[in-house]
Structure 1
Amino acid sequence: MARPPHRPPTLRGKIFHGPSVVAAGLLTQTQLRGKAWRRLLRGVYADAELPVTHELRCHAVAAHLLPEGGAIAGRSAAALLRVGLVGFAEPVEILVPTCARPRMSDVIAHVSAVEASDRCRIQGMPVTTPLRTCWDLAQWLPAEEAVVLLDRFLRSSLVTKAELASLGTARRGGYGSARFAHVLSLVDGRAESPQESRLRVMIVLSGLPAPQVQWEVYDAAGFVARVDLAYPEVRVAIEYDGLWHASADQLHHDRRRLNRLQAAGWLVIHVTASRLRDSPDAVLREITGALALRRR
């Protein structure tokens, strides 16, 4: 029978710096490479019984690699704030003061002044505040993806549109202010999913008029539906259909809802994830055609 791996009680359930543990005599190099431990980052290990998540890797960076005055930032901060999802293997993003940037493939370090007011603590880790995270996301991500996350910050009530506007005003004329203003002009916290945000931004950036978000439709009998995006002046609706629409019960509900919308004089365009990803130009042509048809 194989002997169980050597697992000192002080290291169980913990994240630790491998070379320091070996130097202290708690493990040998051979034991460190055994099945009891998992390498998270260069030189940083964890108990193999801990589930590997992006959050766990953020803990590893915060405890052993983050320079003084730095903070977990960007998409990693959004994940810790329960706004965005980041894959466990994706690099941890951090914000660090000038000349304090660690260089490793597991970490993306952005260099900028980090004020005490830009940081909060989550699970004991220094993390950029929701407002500072929104500013950074607008700088570091393509506009469409930044809007997706800022929409979710607004919907989660972690920030308000007024706070974002005040931040833009306070930094007007400075580095990154124009980019932030552009992203902010596209933000609308009423979107109920990231894909709805992507669809709306794609429409606006194409040059089409900005649609209304979560528009409520009524007929003589009362409430009919709340549609994802709408041009109410011409009764054109755009609906994003996620995977949950595929169930038999949901299909029955959707068809009954569609019939009522059509009876109320609405033209409805349906967009799926594959069409949004693979055929965005075709989607835009359909929307353009529908608007032109209704405006004749």
Structure 2
Amino acid sequence: MTNRHPPSWRPRISARQAGAFTRAQAIAEGLNKRQVAYRLESGIFCKVAGIGLRHRQDPVTPAMLAHAAHLTWPDTVLAGPTAAMVLGAPLRLHNAHVISQFRRKPQMHLIPHEFKILPWERDSWRGLPITTLSRSLIDAFVVLPKQDAQALFVWAHTHDRIDTADLELHLEHFPGRWGNTRLRQFLAQAHTGVMSPAEALAHDILRRSNLTGWKPDVTIRDGLGIIARVDVLFPTERVVVEIDGRRFHGSDRFQADRTRDNRLQNAGYLVLRFTWQDLTTRQGMVITQIRQALAQRTPGFRA
């Protein structure tokens, strides 16, 4: 090994490919085949997806995964969970999903699909062909395990990344597609506004307690735009009820929730948050707190 290529060396082109590169690119920039083989065997270079490689000091990112897929099959389109991930969906995957015009065998961490794409469902991301966000999410709903797909749908719907029109249009254009049963279930959820068993239970508790004047699944805006799609809103009293789920609530989600709550409060809303445990073991407390909040906002309201 020469000083010209120390162990920290990467091909310069990798900087334009989110850290991904190929054997051929490493050789084109100065390594020989034996040196590349040595760096792979010793773990200096690591495989990402397909023929894509990375330096061991560079962590795998959604962008790196996308570039590795494109380096392997340049004629494919980034799609499904991978496309949704690079476009902002809170997914952490190790496999890249692409749409191919013909049948291909899967490669390491690279999964091809032969889905049909409508012309307006194609887009570009950092120079790479990709499906639009709505189409990417729809394909992700179909290919992900059911629990993961459900969690992603809740995130997409509550953050206004997809709406009922997107699902209805897709079902209209692809009536016999595999996975449509799940898409119809999600469409029904979107129409009812019930995104989870916890929300369904919350609605049932509100009805049994004879509380009226509330609306499920409401989008609230301020001068900066959309603040949030809240689980339950009492519009007259400006009281918001949120049900905290377990999925997609890491540190980033916690911070986003706090920022959102601050905007809601500045816009004049009172925010109450309850957990699944609250709904199942402390229903009396839940209703009492909601009634007290409504009483604070409505003169003459009897809590």
Q: Normalising by structure 2, report the TM-score.
A: 0.59
In the alignment, structure 1 residue 84 sits paired with structure 2 residue 90: yes
- Identify the range of structure 1 (141-150 vs 8-17) with the bigger mean alpha-carbon deviation: 8-17
Distance in 1 separating the partners of 2:99 and 2:127: 17
The answer to whether the 8 Å contact 1:71/1:94 transfers is yes
* 1:53–1:174 CA distance, 2 compared to 1 (3 A): closer
Structure 2 SS opposite 1:82: coil
In the alignment, structure 1 residue 184 sits paired with structure 2 residue 179: no
Q: Show the counterpart of 1:216.
A: 233
The answer to whether the 8 Å contact 1:154/1:189 transfers is no
In the alignment, structure 1 residue 201 sits paired with structure 2 residue 196: yes
What percent identity do the matched residue pairs reach?
A: 17
Quote the offset at 1:42 in angstroms: 4.8
The answer to whether the 8 Å contact 1:37/1:48 transfers is yes
* 1:4–1:283 CA distance, 2 compared to 1 (3 A): farther
The answer to whether the 8 Å contact 1:5/1:31 transfers is no
Structure 1 SS opposite 2:196: helix
Residues 91-111 of structure 1, C-alpha deviations (whole Å, 9 max, x = no match)? 112222332x24223112223
Distance in 1 separating the partners of 2:106 and 2:3: 38
Equivalent of 2:23 in 18, 21, 25: 18
Q: Partner amino acid for 2:98? A: I
Superposition CA RMSD, Å: 4.7
The count of aligned residue pairs is 244
Residues 119-152 of structure 1, C-alpha deviations (whole Å, 9 max, x = no match)? 2111111112123223212322344432432343
Q: Normalising by structure 1, report the TM-score.
A: 0.61
Unaligned runs of at least 5 residues, structure 2 = 207-215, 218-229, 266-271, 287-303
The answer to whether the 8 Å contact 1:5/1:36 transfers is no
Distance in 1 separating the partners of 2:11 and 2:135: 39
Structure 2 SS opposite 1:41: coil
Distance in 2 separating the partners of 1:174 and 1:3: 56
Q: Show the counterpart of 1:72.
A: 78
In the alignment, structure 1 residue 53 sits paired with structure 2 residue 98: no
Equivalent of 1:150 in 149, 153, 156: 153
Quote the offset at 1:29 in angstroms: 3.1
Distance in 1 separating the partners of 2:146 and 2:204: 18
1:1-296 maps to which residues of 2 (within 5 A)? 3=3, 5-6=5-6, 7=9, 10-11=12-13, 13=15, 15-19=20-24, 21-22=26-27, 24=28, 26-32=30-36, 33-34=38-39, 37-46=45-54, 50-66=58-74, 68=75, 70-87=76-93, 90-99=94-103, 101-172=104-175, 174-187=177-190, 200-203=195-198, 212-213=216-217, 214=230, 215-217=232-234, 223=238, 225-228=239-242, 238-239=243-244, 270-271=274-275, 285-286=280-281
Q: Partner amino acid for 1:123? A: R
The answer to whether the 8 Å contact 2:51/2:71 transfers is no
Quote the offset at 1:78 in angstroms: 1.0
Quote the offset at 1:166 in angstroms: 2.7
Q: Partner amino acid for 1:16? A: F
The answer to whether the 8 Å contact 2:141/2:149 transfers is yes
* 1:151–1:63 CA distance, 2 compared to 1 (3 A): same
Distance in 2 separating the partners of 1:8 and 1:177: 44
Quote the offset at 1:269 in angstroms: 8.7
Distance in 1 separating the partners of 2:59 and 2:182: 38
Q: Partner amino acid for 1:216? A: L
Distance in 2 separating the partners of 1:246 and 1:16: 35
Quote the offset at 1:177 in angstroms: 2.9
